Amino acid sequence: MQYPVALAISLAVAHGCTFGNLGGYDIQLCDPNVSPDKDTCRQLPPPDACSAYKCDRVERRCITGVRDDDRDGDPPASCGGTDCDDADPKRSGVAKEACDGVDNDCDNLVDDHGVLTPKTAVTVQTVSGVDSDVAFDGGDTGDWHATFVQKDAAGGRCLRSLPLPAGDLSSTCTFLGAETSLSPRHPTVRTFGGVQGAAFVTTSACTSGTLAYRSALVGTFGKAALACGATAGASLPTIGATTLSGPALIAFYDAPTSERGDPVRGCAAAKASALKLAVVNGQATSAPSMDVPITVSSNVISIRPPSFADVGGSKLLASPTSTGASIAVLDTSAGVKIASTVDLPTFTGARSVMLSVAVDGATTRVALVGEIGCTPTQTVRLALGTFNGTGGLAMGDAVEISGAAGSVATQPSAAWIDARKEWLVTWVADGPRVLGRRFTSAGLAIDDVIVFSTTASVAAPTAGSEVYVFDGASFAHVPLLCGG
């Protein structure tokens, strides 16, 4: 037991230093500016596991203090500090995260709050003859695709679903087959259980618009539709599936498509209508049927589709309301019924909302983004919350995130980036430009507004820290990575 002390004494004497006693070393003329491996004080045996000798910068002698081997000012976690690596001065609980592939701030995440930069867009597929709004959807499993209507050589309309990022565009229509007489509008596609379902509105035989459903099966199509005149009209449908063997849900607005033709220019003229929910039974068969829709809420003004999100055995359905926005919790355990509704008055003036849900360990996180007002004073708001899995949804107040009001701030969407434990929100602004911002799980802005594209007019963020965009001629994805 005496050997380490004797060795330390020999080293100290060799440097011309003196001792007051063995219990508290008093080494003079130490140098606080040398590297740790040449620090005379560090060569002395520490009094205990969480104490160490260090050179006092004023008196230039060895004194005892809390252990901090890498001299970054943060003791190791085992000694009351927050340093997760006391041998690396770049890592501690008080360090600022940097884009260097290292967990600088010791939160078990790499580059989560560092400065990220959009990289060059990677083209997925070029297209021509697009004759509808383009919609991006990640499905229930994150299988992303783009939905759009394309004119064919014979003058018909083809409803397509482009897989992303593969970009394999089939030479045949995905859903309509030989139904070239149809004029599909407001198309949307959702993937569930390996099968794709499509909802759209056709006006070829019904001027107010007929809600139609198709499922893509092997060698055939499953077809269902509401009868013309069954509702005041149909516009902006969206799909929420339960299970492959269960029903599909289609939420839509009971308004003619003519009132929802152009989301931006038609915003101020949009009239109030009812939000309705139709149930499609036998969704993955060749003969599905559509029930008479039920009313979820009335007096709704929305220029984009309502928004579904899946949470285990429940589904969330979000939409603007006359007093802001609301999220309905749908119970699909036995049929379909509205279990509860959460009203969000801080979305007053919303003309569209988009819902995003992500499982983060034991927590189910919920984000709702809203497009507030019409041009020239549009803004984007964000509200965050949690869902406890038994019907309990708790949401915070919405806050404005897009900066000063501009002439366009539309198509907001959000995605949870689990690798960095943060939300990525995007929207389309003047130009057109695709803009975005990153937020912590608590809703704090991580950085300033990010420019993803200066040509695209449609965008959607993904959980893979990239943004899908469409500029009118090509689909592409823009990675968000470290570096300039």
Among residues 131, 147, 235, the alpha carbon closest in space to that of 188 is found at 147
Q: What is the DSSP letter of 79?
A: G
Query: Residues 182-205: pLDDT tens digits?
Result: 788 899 988 876 678 889 998 877
Among residues 136, 145, 240, the alpha carbon closest in space to that of 460 is found at 136
| CA dihedral for 57, 62, 63, 65, sign (positive or negative) | positive
Q: Cα 363 to the chain's mean position, in Å?
A: 15
Taking the CB of residue 339, how many other CB atoms lie within 10 A of it?
15
- pTM above 0.85? no
Domain boundaries, the chain: 3-79, 132-305
Distance of alpha carbon 191 from alpha carbon 196, whole angstroms:
4
pLDDT of residue 8: 39
Long-range own/partner contacts, residues 432-437 (CB < 8 A, 24 or more apart): 432/408, 432/456, 432/457, 434/459, 434/467, 434/469, 434/478, 435/402, 436/461, 436/467, 437/401
The two three-digit tokens of residue 367, written as one number: 């984000």
Q: Considering the chain, what is the average pLDDT of its residues?
A: 84
Contact yes or no for 65/52 (Cβ under 8 A): yes
Query: Residues 255-299: pLDDT tens digits?
Result: 888 777 777 778 888 889 999 999 988 887 788 888 889 899 998
pLDDT of residue 242: 60
Query: Residues 422-442: pLDDT tens digits?
Result: 999 999 998 899 999 999 999
CATH 3.40.50.720 fits 132-305, yes or no: no
Contact yes or no for 474/126 (Cβ under 8 A): yes
| CA dihedral for 399, 402, 408, 411, sign (positive or negative) | negative
CA angle 261, 265, 266 (to 5 degrees): 50
Q: What is the mean pLDDT of residues 95-106?
A: 83
Backbone φ/ψ region at 472: left (φ over 0), alpha (ψ -120 to 50), beta: left
